[in-house]
Amino acid sequence: MSGAAAAARAATLYVSMLTTAMLVVACGADPVAPDDFGRPGDGSEIPSTADEAASPNGTASPNGTAFPNGTTPPDRAGVPHAVPLPTGLATTGDSAASRVAPIGQPGLPIRLTDGGCCVRPLWRADSRALWFIDRSPQGVTGLYSAGLDAPGAPTVLVTTTIGTFSPDQRWRIDLASGRTTLHRLADGAAFEVPAGGRSVSFSPDGARIAWQGSNPNASLERQVARIVVAAPDGTGAAEVAQLARGSLVDWLGADALLVRARETAESDIEVLWRQPLDGGERVEILRTQRLRNLLLSPDKRWLAYTVSGATDVDANGLWLAAVDGSSPPRKLEGLFGAYRWRGAQQLVIVPFEMGAPSMRLVEVDPTTLAARPLTDPATQPLRIANGDWSISPDGSHAAFVSAADRNIWVIALP
């Protein structure tokens, strides 16, 4: 047997045994409790830039694939829902996954899809399903859903329209080559906005949109991001900032943006500002060398970020800063890795532990920096592919694409 074949058989055995083990553990679990439905999520996204894509300076914002939150959006393409399964997802009514533990109890990871599936799933706002782009054997590409209440059940076609949505789902953002069109779902009205095929980011109140323009063919050293704000129908478009090698990070509220830029085009010092939209002065929040992976907490109070490759060696690591400047940024000593917010007040981290047989989740309180483990790698093995993981809007679960089988898995968090 070749090494590859042996490895493949071992991996198959592992997955099979893992599933068996989960079944053994799961059979006595309690029924799932009703969840906290209706918690708002963030269906908007911030367009990535060529700078981010080609260099490690990217924000940690979602990218290129954002979907509606909560209820299923209208499918104006008229394709019936709950039709053909995406490739490899055929399941039977007696599938193993249909008998695994009810979701909602801390425990072993639960596999939601089968056959090696999809990447970059996004949580539905009610935290009960994950949505992802896929294609059925019949050739229907669309947004499909895998529900937490029926792990392993056939995935369901939500819509054939691949687009992004405003957080309140009143608008759908269609992206075509060089064109950005916003559809008001209430009446079907469509407005083309001059975002050039980039997505837009909706303000928290849904009253405004922002996007950034740049020249993808310019060298990275010459990139200038032009930040534009407009009404969702495209009226009143006005440039609010030009940022040398910068980007729009997020909305800080209805009247201000969080933006970043290099101190100068040649500098490795990056500056983060609060950019008011009423014509007021830009306010600096922090500056540091080699700022990466900015992630704003849902309540806009905290900012998590990474510094790497700084000549000030002590500056390298994972940091937390209060956006209002009420306390100086603090480095998480001894804890570095990937991170996501769990609600407004907890930062979940997957520590960067090379060679560890299993990854693990740790939670940090940004106020006290107190950390506590969320998973035990000895009994809750997980290995994330592509750095592809997320926390549900209600904070009850983590989802990840498994490096072992490329399926979407979830794990209930304590």
Partner 1 sequence: MGSPRHLVRAVVLLAVATAVRSAVAQSAAAAERPLGLPFALPPGPATWLLGQPYGNTTGAFRQRRTTYGASGGIHFGVDMTAPCGTPVVAVADGVVFSVDAMNFGSAPHNVMIDHADLNVASFYGHLRDRSPLTAGQAVRRGDPVGVVGDPGLTCRSRPHLHLELRDLAHARKFNPVTLIEADWDTLALASSLGTGFERDLDDPRKWQHLDDQPEARVGGPILNDFARPWPPDVR
Q: Report residue 194 as tokens.
A: 């001059």
Residue 197 found at the interface with partner 1 (CB under 8 A): yes
| Residue with smaller CB distance to partner 1, 15 or 322 | 15
Residue numbers 386-405 binding partner 1 by CB under 8 A: 386-387, 403
Residue 24 found at the interface with partner 1 (CB under 8 A): yes
Residues ≥6 apart with Cβ < 8 Å to 267: none
Considering only CA atoms, which of 40, 17, 403, 387 is closest in space to residue 206?
Answer: 40
Selected range binding partner 1 among 133-141, 145-153, 201-209, 224-232, rule: CB under 8 A:
133-141
| Residue with smaller CB distance to partner 1, 242 or 367 | 242
Residue numbers 265-284 binding partner 1 by CB under 8 A: 266-268
Residue 90 found at the interface with partner 1 (CB under 8 A): no
| Residue with smaller CB distance to partner 1, 39 or 67 | 67
Residue 385 found at the interface with partner 1 (CB under 8 A): yes
Question: Whose structure tokens read 């002065």?
Answer: 281
Residue 190 found at the interface with partner 1 (CB under 8 A): no
Cα separation, 413 vs 79, in Å, equals: 36
Residue 326 found at the interface with partner 1 (CB under 8 A): no
Selected range binding partner 1 among 149-157, 233-241, 316-324, 366-374, rule: CB under 8 A:
316-324
* Phi, then psi, of 405 in degrees rounded to 5: -135, 0
Selected range binding partner 1 among 150-158, 233-241, 312-320, 363-371, rule: CB under 8 A:
312-320
| Residue with smaller CB distance to partner 1, 64 or 325 | 64
Residue 91 found at the interface with partner 1 (CB under 8 A): no
Q: Which of 309, 325, 373, 414 binds partner 1 (CB under 8 A)?
A: 309
Residue 308 found at the interface with partner 1 (CB under 8 A): yes
Check: CB of residue 349 under 8 Å from CB of residue 362: yes
Selected range binding partner 1 among 77-85, 212-220, 253-261, 274-282, rule: CB under 8 A:
212-220
Q: Which of 71, 141, 327, 367 binds partner 1 (CB under 8 A)?
A: 141
Residue 335 found at the interface with partner 1 (CB under 8 A): no
Residue 293 found at the interface with partner 1 (CB under 8 A): yes
* Shortest Å, Cβ 219 to partner 1: 8
| Residue with smaller CB distance to partner 1, 93 or 357 | 357
Selected range binding partner 1 among 10-18, 75-83, 123-131, 280-288, rule: CB under 8 A:
10-18
Q: Which of 210, 359, 398, 412 binds partner 1 (CB under 8 A)?
A: 359
Residue numbers 97-116 binding partner 1 by CB under 8 A: 116
Q: Which of 77, 186, 313, 370 binds partner 1 (CB under 8 A)?
A: 313
How big is the site for partner 1, counted in residues (CB under 8 A)?
96
Q: Which of 34, 236, 334, 357 binds partner 1 (CB under 8 A)?
A: 357
Residue numbers 37-76 binding partner 1 by CB under 8 A: 47-48, 50, 52-65
Measured CA distances, 122 to 42, 73, 131, 157, 221 (Å): 10, 15, 5, 14, 33
SS (H, E, C) the chain: CCHHHHHHHHHHHHHHHHHHHHHHHHCCCCCCCCCCCCCCCCCCCCCCCHHHHHCCCCCCCCCCCCCCCCCCCCCCCCCCCCCCCCCCCCCCCCCHHHHCCCCCCCCCCEECCCCCCCCCCEECCCCCEEEEEEECCCCCEEEEEEECCCCCCCCEEEECCCCEECCCCCEEEEEECCEEEEEECCCCEEEEECCCCCCCEECCCCCCEEEEECCCCCCHHHCEEEEEEECCCCCCCEEEEEEECCEEEEEEECCEEEEEEECCCCCCEEEEEEEECCCCCCEEEEEEECEEEEEECCCCCEEEEEECCCCCHHHCEEEEEECCCCCCCEECCCCCEEEEEECCCEEEEEECCCCCCCCCCEEECCCCCCEEECCCCCCCCCCEEEEEEEECCCCCEEEEEECCCCCEEEEECC
Residue 161 found at the interface with partner 1 (CB under 8 A): no
Residue 140 found at the interface with partner 1 (CB under 8 A): no
* Shortest Å, Cβ 255 to partner 1: 27
Residue 199 found at the interface with partner 1 (CB under 8 A): yes
